[in-house]
Amino acid sequence: MNLKEKIIQLSQEIGISKIGFTTADDFAYLEKSLRAGVEEGRTTGFEHKNIEERINPKLSLASARTIISIAVAYPRRLPQQPQKTGFRRGKITPNSWGLDYHYILQDKLERLARGIEDLTADFEYKGMVDTGALVDTAVARRAGIGFIGKNGLVISKEYGSYMFLGELITNLELEPDSPVDYDCGDCNRCVEACPTSCLLGDSTMDARRCLSFQTQDKGMMELEFRKKIKTVIYGCDICQICCPYNKGIDSPPVVDIDPDLAQPELIPFLELSNGQFKEKFGQIAGSWRGKNILQRNAIIALANAHDRSAIPKLLEIIDKGQNPIHAATAIWALGELVKEPTEEMISFIEGIQTDHPDVIVEQAAFVKLAKGL
């Protein structure tokens, strides 16, 4: 076997679902769209800031010759459902089930790199997983992992779009693979299914309108997005669920998945301290944004689930007022759950003393609606 064939064999032994190879040539064609996204305010702010580094692999590794792209497939359905309890549950999307995929991919990339070091001398590399400089989807497309769909995700016939992506920039001289010869065709299902119309139809998006971003953004969630997240407290999978390439595909778990973490009980979730949250949820990808943002989403999810058993907990959150964003969101949720509030409840909301603008806005909206003004 030549070196490339040995690397492919090694990747299979490590548990990498798909591997591809491409040159370390630049991705200059991306520059226009990347700059437009920033200038038009369509980026999340989570992206690597230096656009030159995003399009030129040699700025990350001066000796770069070949980029090795890897994909690790993950399941779209829970291996088992959580036990039924007296609490309504929220949903965390599949890319955040089990151990944080960054750890999984970094481990596989390091194992791949160590294996390559045993196969060849003078090996130089730099590994990246979505927090790195390069655009993972562009690397994967050029390396033949799959095509970039209208939802902006890499899609393959073997695994659909449920794949984690990473890459090794290397100094190796290896034969590059070709991009795949299939694509979305005339299918427009994801663009039509997106509840916020964030997909632009050309594989780009207004990322700030994506519900996945909305579940990760700080502060109050804008009113137009609150009901659209339904009971999802982290992520959004709508553009994947409706994709024909995902039909009939459900890859096995990469690591153990706890169904109680994938679909947490909402009211108990609101009672977690910082320490309890880190202990229980700290190893999943969705934990990176911290407890407070996900708890805000859980309050919204309780309203969307029409869970009237949450009313005492919402009143408690409002009364304590320890987190103004939680309190303001709880006032909104209370208005969703209680269509005809009592005079006592109206007086309670009216009597809130605060100088926080978000609480003031939701307080005024609740009282106005309750009094039919």
User: Which of the residues are catalytic?
Assistant: 130
Contacts of 197 (CB under 8 A, 6+ apart): 209
CA pair distance 182, 180, nearest whole angstrom? 6
Distance of alpha carbon 191 from alpha carbon 239, whole angstroms: 7
Rounded to the nearest 5 percent, the helix, strand and coil shares of the chain are 45, 10, 45
In the structure encoding, which two tokens stand for residue 181, read together?
């010869």
For strand 66-73 and strand 91-92, is the pairing parallel, antiparallel, or unpaired? Answer: unpaired
Type of residue numbered 90: G
Which runs of E-coded beta strand occur in 37-186?
66-73, 91-92, 125-128, 147-148, 154-155, 163-170
Cα 151 off chain centre by: 13
Helix-helix angle 274-281:291-304, to 10 degrees: 80
Cβ contact 281:111 at 8 Å: no
What residues pair up with 73 in beta bridges, in sequence order? 163
Q: Per-residue b/e over 50-76, b at no fewer than 16 CB within 10 Å?
A: ebeebbbbeebbeebbbbbbbbbbbbb
